[in-house]
Amino acid sequence: MSDATVTRADLAEAVYQEVGLSRNESAQLLETVLDEISMALIRDEVVKISSFGSFSVRKKGERIGRNPKTGEEVPILPRKVLVFRPSQVLKARINA
């Protein structure tokens, strides 16, 4: 397993290489796309990217948890979590 991490700079560089925009334009395009995805998720919308997957926000209710060190029961407050579901195409490419 690789320890490599893909960063925003890496993605902007890939856009620069593939599309031919300037490096600044490529970085701005990437930021615009990421901002649009973020804003849609904030509005509780589902973001579906064909042949990649879908992002959604799920609401988790309050529940009782346990401190593993002391065994003490503690309430876990309600929260929202980001969920990613890969498409069948992406799953197949990963497992190929």
Could you give phi then psi for residue 28, rounded to 5 degrees? -65, -40
Radius of gyration of the chain (CA): 19
Q: How confident is the model at residue 20 (pLDDT cuts 50, 70, 90)?
A: confident
Residue 77's pLDDT band, with cuts at 50, 70 and 90, is: very high
- Answering whether pTM is above 0.85, one says no
Strands (E), 1-96: 47-49, 53-60, 63-66, 73-76, 79-86
